[in-house]
Amino acid sequence: MVLDDLGSSLRGTLDTLQGKSRLSEDDVEEIVKEIQRSLLSADVDVSLVMELSDAIETRALEEEPPGGTTARDHVLKIVYEELVDLVGDSTELPLESQTILLAGLQGSGKTTSAAKMAWWFSKKGLRPAVIQTDTFRPGAYDQAKQMCERAEVEFYGDPDGEDPVQIARDGLEATADADVHIVDTAGRHALEDDLIAEIEAIETAVDPDRSLLVLDAAIGQGAKEQARQFERSIGIEGVVITKLDGTAKGGGALTAVNETDSSIAFLGTGETVQDIERFEPSGFISRLLG
Ligand code: GDP
């Protein structure tokens, strides 16, 4: 565990505990308040923040620091462990043949993430293909095609096609030589019945190994309902958080992770195909607290 992973104000509070062998209730309360402030301003759901702070408080007051450990290092370890528990590990992604379905609302960053993920898999030595089934948003086909050209990965779409399910089937057939199939789907401005019906039909047709929900880092309360709906209709195995290069910290997406009992797979950090990172708990935690 690295101390730098924790936000500067929290680190400051912890530093005031230097030299103490025991923490008082007031010390623990101050640390917990600091963490709460940071997490709430990073859009983490209130009930998740409360659960986390209760767990930290109980452990910090009840657990004895092991011999040779200062009270500060002990509480730091507890904070870190509880935060890792909150954000979870990254979604398991075996480097082998698989089909990935992307779901999410319009503008969340699905098409961009599809090309980015394909680029990522290609750098891992696999042969990915992106299949664009979005017949709803004008320009989706051209955007996906251009990004895939930039990523130098295979692309399938049908600019004149009207049936997303047929496009998905044709796409899988046309790109049968690829190892990793990433199927992009149409979003809507809101969770409408036809969106859900369409993605359910695509899911049945492509039978993905995993479905990922793409969420804008700025998502707040809306994450819960979206996650619930997509989980119910297709099952969500992981979350992609986009636009983390902006000011939003992405804490809202943790609600979706919690709601779908899943984990975070990738982070989007810019508009170009290389701007993608595999989720890694400590970096994300330091962003949440920073
Ligand atoms: P879709 O409707 O879900 O397919 O969303 P798009 O992939 O078209 O993305 C919507 C907008 O967000 C586009 O202008 C993208 O360039 C932008 N975008 C997507 N991901 C990121 C990201 O990680 N960072 C930034 N800055 N912009 C992003």
Q: What mean pLDDT comes out for the span 94-111? A: 96
Strands 264-268 and 276-278: antiparallel
Q: How far apart are CA 261 and CA 267, in angstroms?
A: 18
Q: How far apart are CA 255 and CA 253, in angstroms?
A: 5
pLDDT above 50 for 63: yes
CA dist 281 to 9, 125, 168, 198, 244, Å? Answer: 20, 25, 33, 33, 14
Cβ–Cβ under 8 Å, residues 17 and 53: no
166 lines ligand 1 (CB under 6 A): no
Q: Six-digit token pair at 45?
A: 């759901």
How many helices and strands, by DSSP H and E, does the chain display? 11, 8
pLDDT tens track for 140-153:
999 999 999 999 99
269 lines ligand 1 (CB under 6 A): yes
220 lines ligand 1 (CB under 6 A): no
> What confidence score (pLDDT) does residue 290 get?
78
> What confidence score (pLDDT) does residue 11 get?
77
Mutation probe of ligand 1 site: the residue of 102, 146, 242 with most atoms within 8 A of C-beta: 242
Mutation probe of ligand 1 site: the residue of 102, 108, 112, 264 with most atoms within 8 A of C-beta: 112
106 lines ligand 1 (CB under 6 A): yes
Q: What is the mean pLDDT of the chain?
A: 92
Q: What mean pLDDT comes out for the span 199-203? A: 96
Which residue puts its alpha carbon closest to atom 16 of ligand 1? 271
CA–centroid distance, residue 108 to ligand 1 (Å):
6
> What confidence score (pLDDT) does residue 6 get?
64
Q: For 139-178, give the secondary structure using H, E and C.
A: CHHHHHHHHHHHHCCEEECCCCCCCHHHHHHHHHHHCCCC
Terminal-to-terminal C-alpha distance of the chain = 16
Which residue puts its alpha carbon closest to atom 9 of ligand 1? 109
88 is known to lie in a ligand binding site: no
Using 50, 70 and 90 to split pLDDT, how confident is the model at 24? confident
Backbone angles phi, psi at 100, to 5 degrees: -120, 130
Judge if ipTM > 0.90: yes
271 lines ligand 1 (CB under 6 A): yes
Count CB atoms within 10 A of the CB of residue 95. 11
Higher pLDDT, 195 or 170: 170
For the ranges 64-68, 145-149, 217-221, the one whose mean pLDDT is highest = 145-149
Closest CA to 267 of 240, 239, 227: 240
Burial of 220 (0-12, 13-18, 19+ CB in 10 A): middle
Identity of the amino acid at 21? S
pLDDT tens track for 270-284:
999 999 999 999 899
Atom of ligand 1 nearest to the CA of 214: 3
